[in-house]
Amino acid sequence: MKLGLGTVQFGMNYGVSNTGGQTSLEEAREILDLAEESGISVIDTAAVYGESEEVLGKLLRKRHSFRITTKFPALIPQDRCSFESNEVVSLMTESLKRLGQRNVYGLLLHRADELLSPYGDEIMKGLQKCKRMGLAEKVGVSVYAEDRINELINSYPIDLIQVPVNLFDQRLVRNGFLNRCQSMGIEVQARSVFLQGLLCMEPYNLPAYFRPYVGRLQSFHRYISERGITPVEAALSFVDGLPEIDAFVCGVNRCDQLRQLVASMRNPAKGLDFSKFASTDSSLLNPSLWKTS
């Protein structure tokens, strides 16, 4: 199945709808067991997801069926004046040590714009070294729709790209970028499927920041209610129905949440038109711009 497991909650309190805090170690163990039993093959983590890599290192069996993708933190602080490709290899080695793995499936830059900096060639050289050494099967970037994404895939040999896609954020579908990635042989993983849980929240329970968007959310909830489906089923059916997407990752705090996702994947909602909910407002679609505290 296309459904993958996001593990940011394993390492930190994350998400506008998260009221449970960081997932406990025992709950994380049960989630991983259920994921493997359910045929989920993709796991997403990152060095900046708190203790996520360490938790996976403690819990993953020596022989598991998961394809792990991890992401580097920012590589180039503002006060830096040089960068060496071997630094990428060192960071990869540190992540693998935390993960307890010999290699990972995907290695991504968390800040894609660093490839377009004066140090971009040296960074890519380091990523390619990781591939040649067998530390990562695929290398690439995690992007926002606002990034210079066409320039990135034109300039460098990207194997894997992680993008935000959900039924409010259809920008990369509509502008043809995902289709272009597919034609170039670039694997696409989608994230932010539930827009950090915003799509599943009751409109009147939202933080004040989202008041300008209450009408849009109410309209969405009315649409799915009239068709007898839940926000989770709607969100999953949208991304699962996009042929340009190879996999999409969803984070959970509890086993019952993952069980719900798996059940929805096995009984997908069909024949729905979410085109009218598409937005181009970055203040809604980009969680890094949210001011909720």
CA triple 107-123-82, angle to 5 deg: 140
pTM to 2 decimal places: 0.93
Per-residue pLDDT for the chain (293 aa), expressed as one digit of tens each? 899 999 999 998 655 444 567 899 999 999 999 999 999 999 999 999 999 999 999 999 888 999 999 999 888 866 667 789 999 999 999 999 999 999 999 999 999 999 999 999 999 999 999 999 999 999 999 999 999 999 999 999 999 999 999 999 999 999 999 999 999 999 999 999 999 999 999 988 899 999 999 999 999 999 999 999 999 999 999 999 999 999 999 999 999 999 999 999 988 888 899 999 999 999 999 998 998 76
Domain 3-289 has CATH 3.40.190.10: no
Q: What are phi and psi of 137, to 5 degrees?
A: -80, -40
Cβ contact 49:11 at 8 Å: yes
Q: Where are the domains of the chain?
A: 3-289
Residues near 233 by beta carbon (within 8 Å), at least 6 away in sequence? 224, 264, 268, 269
CA 154 to the chain's CA centroid: 22
Q: HSE of 261 in the Cβ direction (CA atoms, 13 Å)?
A: 30
Report the 10 Å Cβ neighbour count for 131: 16
Q: What is the pLDDT of residues 159-184, one digit of tens each?
A: 999 999 999 999 999 999 999 999 99
